[in-house]
Structure 1
Amino acid sequence: MINYRIKSVGGYSERIGELVSMLEHTRAVTLKEIKGLTQKDLDYPTDEGSNSIGALLMHIASIEFVHQVITFEERDINKVEFLKWQAALELGQQARHTIKLNQLDFYLNELALIRERTLSQLKSYNDDWLFEERQWDNGVKHNCYYLWFHVLEDEISHRGQIRIIKRRLLQNNQ
């Protein structure tokens, strides 16, 4: 059952526990939205330039992975990591050609593995870490709280796209 309250999750500092609550709520709603989708549903393009639900799920996983690297390891992804995640990160034509023919369990597993690491790593940080000032090479300042907020907003945004694709699927199956 989905919890509709933001509360600090035990085992984490207060604000990180609240962040975990939001991450887990967001994921629970996403998982509910994709429950029961077939491989054909996951690969369905609404038009020749659109992303599939499967590609969007891999994008959600890739964004969380990148933010793990940036916040936990304090670096950018390397060439090997970029090559692994490139299609999912960039979406578009490459994703349409390479992210397909997978069953739902494949995507659920990818999302779960990435999330497991996030939750494990967050246990070793405190609330001050969330507000730690950092700066990218281009001079733009940021903090870890914003980066994890972006993980949330990205998943929520793409879940909206998933809902639109599902509506189109229903219309085409009638």
Structure 2
Amino acid sequence: MIDYRIRPVENYTDKIGELVSMLEHARQVTLSEISSFDQSELDYLPSQHANSIGSLLFHIASIEFVHQVISFEKRDLTLEEIKKWGMALSLGSKARQEITGYSLNYYLDTLSEVRGKTLALLKSKDDTWLFEEHNWDNGVPYNNYYVWFHVMEDEMNHRGQIRALKRQLGNR
């Protein structure tokens, strides 16, 4: 059952617990949207420029992974990480060709694995960490709170795309 309350979560500091509550709510809603999809629905492409539901799910996981690296490790992706996650990050024609044929469990496992690491890493931080400021390569400042807000924002944006694709599939 989806919890519609934002509140601190046990074993996290107050603000991080609230963030975890929001991340988990966003994920529960996403999972409820896709819970009964089969492979053909996950691979559905309504046009040559669209992204499939499966590729959007892999993108959601990849964005979270990248933001783990940015906020917890303070580094860019390695070549090996780019090889694994890069296509899902950028989506596009190559992703349309290669992110296909995977079962719902594949996407669920990927999302779960990445989220599990996020939750473990967040347990090691306190609320002051959320407000630590850094600068992007172009000099624009950001803090860790924004990084994790963006992870949530990105998932919700792509969940909207998933809902539109569901309507185009004509079911649900």
- Does TM, scored on the shorter chain, surpass 0.5? yes
Unaligned runs of 5+ in 2: none
2:39 counterpart residue number: 39
SS of 2:142's equivalent in the other structure is strand
Matches within 5 A, 1:74-85: 74-85=74-85
In structure 1, the gaps of 5 or more residues are: none
1:72 maps to a residue whose letter is F
Q: Distance in 2 between matches of 1:22 and 1:76?
A: 26
1:159, 1:72 → 2: CA distance? 25
Task: Output the CA distance in 1 between the equivalents of 2:114 and 2:28.
Answer: 15
For the residues of structure 2 that align with 1:48 and 1:38, how far apart are their CA atoms? 21
Alpha-carbon distance in 2 for matches of 1:85, 1:122: 21
Query: Deviation per CA, 1:29-85, whole angstroms, max 9, x where unpaired?
Result: 000000110000000001111000000000000000000000010111111111111
Rounded Cα–Cα distance in structure 2 between residues aligned with 1:44 and 1:156: 20
Amino acid at match of 2:72: F
For residues 97-130 of structure 1, what are the alpha-carbon distances to aligned partners after superposition, in whole Å with 9 as ceiling and x for unaligned? 1100011000000000000000000000000000
| Superposed counterparts of 1:146-161, under 5 Å | 146-161=146-161
4+ long deviations beyond 2 Å: none
Name the CA distance, whole Å, in 2 between partners of 1:19 and 1:95. Answer: 30
How many residue pairs were aligned?
A: 172
Map of 2:15 onto structure 1? 15
* Structure 1 residue 137, shift from structure 2 partner: 2.1
Q: CA deviation at 1:138?
A: 1.6
Equivalent-residue separation in structure 2 for 1:147 and 1:58 (angstroms): 19
Q: Which amino acid aligns with 1:162?
A: I
1:87 equivalent to 2:87? Answer yes
- CA apart distance, 1:145: 0.2
Between stretches 132-141 and 100-109, larger displacement belongs to: 132-141
TM-score, normalization by structure 2: 0.98
Q: Which residue of 2 aligns with 1:99?
A: 99
Answer yes or no: is 1:134 the counterpart of 2:134: yes
**Matching residue's letter, 2:52:** S
Letter of the structure 2 residue corresponding to residue 64 of structure 1: E
What is the identity, as a one-letter code, of the residue corresponding to 1:136?
A: W
- Cα distance between partner residues in 2 of 1:59 and 1:82: 13
Deviation at 1:14, TM superposition (A): 0.3
Distance, in Å, in 1 between the alignment partners of 2:87 and 2:135 is 27
AA aligned opposite 1:113: E
Q: CA RMSD in A?
A: 1.1
Give SS of 1:134's match.
Answer: strand
